Amino acid sequence: MSEPDHEETVENLAASIEDLLRMGIIKFDDSSVIDHERVILTTQFSFILSKLMEDPNVMTENQEALLKALYFAFLIYLDDELKIPRRLTMALGNDIEKFQDASELSKSVRRYVLVLFNIMRET
């Protein structure tokens, strides 16, 4: 990976973390158990995700199923917690799935989901 590509990747990761913090999907762990800062899922997002994870297909070691659950939890969170209208959230989801790598929206949401996935792996 060249230096500009690495720099862009780091910037995208930092921007994704900042966005997820601002949306209230993740937060800094304020427990005194750890001696360094780390990021965890918020209670509201965790609750939505736990409902989706009740599906036995998600609870397997299937990484793709977990990524899909995180994606759907993200969309549900937009509707439930951020009060983005359901029709708009559904349109976003449809466009993300339709255009995939061809749109900046899809790339951003994929980065969000990957950040969430990595946070889950570390907790």
Domain ranges of the chain: 3-122
CA distance 37 to 18: 14
- Asked whether residue 22 carries a pLDDT value surpassing 90, the answer given is yes
The whole model's pTM is what? Answer: 0.88
**Beta carbons of 38 and 21 less than 8 angstroms apart:** no
Per residue in 44-101, pLDDT (tens digit) is 999 999 999 887 766 667 788 889 999 999 999 999 999 999 999 999 999 999 988 7
Helix (H) or strand (E) run with residue 26 in it: strand 26-28
